Amino acid sequence: MAAEQTAPPEIRPDAETKPDAAVVRDALGVGVAVGLSGFAFGVTSAGSGLTLLQTCALSLLVFTGASQFALVGALAAGGNPFTAAAGAFFLGTRNAFYGLRLSQLLALPRALRPLAAQWVIDETTAVTLAQPTRRAARIGFTVTGLTLYVLWNLTTLAGALGAQALGDTDAWGLDAASPAVFLALLAPMLKTSTERITAAFAVVLVLGLLPVLPAGAPVLVAALAAPVVLFLKGRGAPGGTGPGAGSEGARTQDAADPGPSEGIGNFTKGEAR
């Protein structure tokens, strides 16, 4: 009886069971599709001046693509290492919020949580939230995380070795790999008008501040785009002047926007981890 009282409930008690094979298939699709983009990171990192060991260490220890690209991009532009690291850190803080949600859904034993935390990224979160049961969520999280971690690190190594063999990556135009991959990963995620406006405002902030701030700093300032857009959205909501106003409009928007559990398809094309 005690075990029944303390056991965590299923994610959706009334949902139909999803076959394990289907969960594995979806998780592998996401893991393979995104894991291959580690090659671009390896090329970009080597082109920014990092050694093979440093490049591989970033993928092994950091393992969050957006932060890795932000770091090497700032370094390649001549930015201060501390500023570049700060930008990468703030981009990666979202994973902590993912972890709060996933810890409830997965309900893993305490001994496994530190290991699982390394795999808490956008893709694993999307696959996990899309599952109807805790068993399916655990399978999806594990398969996605393992596939992505192995492939991302292998392709990072291949990309770094390839960049060394090519020599001057700028001569091949590979210095554009980082922003190109970043945009390709970001675009499928912008599903709502609020997300698109926030992204556009962030771009305007970065472009406007590039001439006046050191490399890496504009990325930090661009983080202000989200609270500014949300504040203005609240001010413009019908029937009120604050973020909490216009609850009817907010509910309508929420109903129209797909939730996290419906967004797994967005991540099969790649993701800005």
**Mean pLDDT value of segment 16-29:** 89
Q: Please, which pLDDT band fits residue 46 given cuts at 50, 70 and 90?
A: confident
* Greatest mean pLDDT among 76-80, 166-170, 172-176, 264-268: 76-80
**Mean pLDDT value of segment 185-214:** 81
Q: What is the number of other CB atoms lying within 10 angstroms of the CB of residue 70?
A: 26
* Greatest mean pLDDT among 201-205, 243-247, 253-257: 201-205
Q: Per residue in 87-119, pLDDT tens?
A: 788 878 888 989 999 999 999 999 999 999 999
Contacts of 48 (CB under 8 A, 6+ apart): 72, 73, 75, 76
pLDDT, residue 174, reads 55
Higher pLDDT, 6 or 43: 43
CB burial readout 117-129, b (16+ within 10 A) else e: eebbbbbbbbbbb
Higher pLDDT, 16 or 81: 81
Q: Please, which pLDDT band fits residue 173 given cuts at 50, 70 and 90?
A: low
Q: Return the minimum-mean-pLDDT range out of 15-24, 126-135, 143-152, 210-219.
A: 210-219
Supply the mean pLDDT for the chain.
Answer: 77
6 pLDDT above the threshold of 80: no
Q: Per residue in 201-212, pLDDT tens?
A: 888 988 888 778
Please calculate the CA angle 264-268-272 and round it to the nearest 5 degrees. Answer: 95
Report field, pTM of the whole predicted structure over 0.75: no
Copy the structure tokens of residue 41. Answer: 């990171």
Q: Please, which pLDDT band fits residue 67 given cuts at 50, 70 and 90?
A: confident
pLDDT, residue 247, reads 43
Q: Which secondary-structure segment (H or E) carries 129?
A: helix 122-129
Q: Per residue in 47-60, pLDDT tens?
A: 888 999 999 999 99
pLDDT-above-70 percentage for the chain:
70
Contacts of 16 (CB under 8 A, 6+ apart): 132
pLDDT, residue 150, reads 96
pLDDT, residue 264, reads 45
